[in-house]
Chain A
Amino acid sequence: DQQVKQNSPSLSVQEGRISILNCDYTNSMFDYFLWYKKYPAEGPTFLISISSIKDKNEDGRFTVFLNKSAKHLSLHIVPSQPGDSAVYFCAASAGRSGNTGKLIFGQGTTLQVKP
C-alpha cells in the first residue's frame, strides 16, 4: 500500500529553467510534508517542509505547494542549477496528529539539470 507516490521516476530540465517535482498521497491523516534531496552514497538532506495548515512555503529557490483537496504537493525549483541534479524524495508524516512521526517516503524522482 503506497501511501506516498512520486509517479515520475525521472525529470530532465535545462539549467535556468523551472523544475517541478510532483507527489501524491492517500492518507488524509498526514499533516506534515517534507522534501529531501539525496546524492548517491549519502543520506537524504532536508530541503523544505510544509504543514497541512498552509498551502505554500518558500525558501530561496525552493517552493513547496500543497493542495489538500487533491492530496497533492509539488516542489518548484527556480532557477534550476546543475548542482540540483539528485534524487528527490517526498515524505509525509502524521506526527502532529498524535502518531509517532514516522516518515512515509515516495519512491523518488531523479532530477537531471543540463548545463
Chain B
Amino acid sequence: NAGVMQNPRHLVRRRGQEARLRCSPMKGHSHVYWYRQLPEEGLKFMVYLQKENIIDESGMPKERFSAEFPKEGPSILRIQQVVRGDSAAYFCASSPQSLGETQYFGPGTRLLVL
C-alpha cells in the first residue's frame, strides 16, 4: 500500500527560475494538503485541494505560488521566479474522503534556491 509520494526529493533552482513540486496522494485519498517548513520552524499550511478544486488557499503567498490537483495525475505546487526565501522543505499530505481525518505525509521536497 504505497504512501504519499513526492518528487523530486531535492530541487535546486537559481533565483528567477520556476520550481514544480509533485505529489501523488495515497490510494483512495482525494484530499491533498501542502505545507512548508522553513529552517528551524514548524510546518505551515499553504493550500488544500480536492480533485480539480482549490478549497482553501489561505496559507499561500499572494504572488508567484499556485497549486493544482487535476482530474488525472499528481497535485502540483508551482513557484514562479523563485527567491532565496523560498528555500524550504515542502510537504504534501493526503487524507480520506471525509474532513477531519488524519493526514498522512509524504517525504517532502527540499528546495534550495541559489
Chain A residues close to B by CB (< 8 Å): 31-32, 34, 36, 41-46, 49, 89, 91, 93, 95-96, 98-108
Is the CB of B27 closer than 8 A to any CB of chain A?
no
Contact call A96/B100, Cβ cutoff below 8 A: yes
Contact call B33/A102, Cβ cutoff below 8 A: yes
Chain B residues close to A by CB (< 8 Å): 4, 6, 31, 33, 35, 41-45, 48, 55-56, 58-59, 91, 93, 95, 99-108, 110
A-B contact pairs, 8 of them (CB 8 A): A46-B104, A91-B43, A96-B100, A100-B48, A101-B31, A101-B33, A101-B48, A107-B41
Main secondary structure on B side of the interface with A: strand
Contact call B45/A104, Cβ cutoff below 8 A: yes
Known contacts A43-B108, A102-B48; is A107 also within 8 Å of B103 by CB?
A: no
Contact call A95/B99, Cβ cutoff below 8 A: yes
Q: Could you tell me the distance between the alpha carbons of A95 and B99 in the complex, rounded to whole angstroms?
A: 6
Q: Which residue of B lies closest to A51 (CB)?
A: B100
Q: Could you tell me the distance between the alpha carbons of A105 and B103 in the complex, rounded to whole angstroms?
A: 12
Q: Which residue of B lies closest to A107 (CB)?
A: B42
Q: Could you tell me the distance between the alpha carbons of A104 and B106 in the complex, rounded to whole angstroms?
A: 17
- Which of A34, A44, A98 is packed against the most chain B CB atoms within 10 Å? A44
Contact call B95/A101, Cβ cutoff below 8 A: yes
Contact call B100/A31, Cβ cutoff below 8 A: yes
CB neighbours of A36 from chain B (8 A)? 105
Contact call A103/B33, Cβ cutoff below 8 A: yes
Q: What is the distance, in angstroms, from A94's C-beta to the closest C-beta of chain B?
A: 9
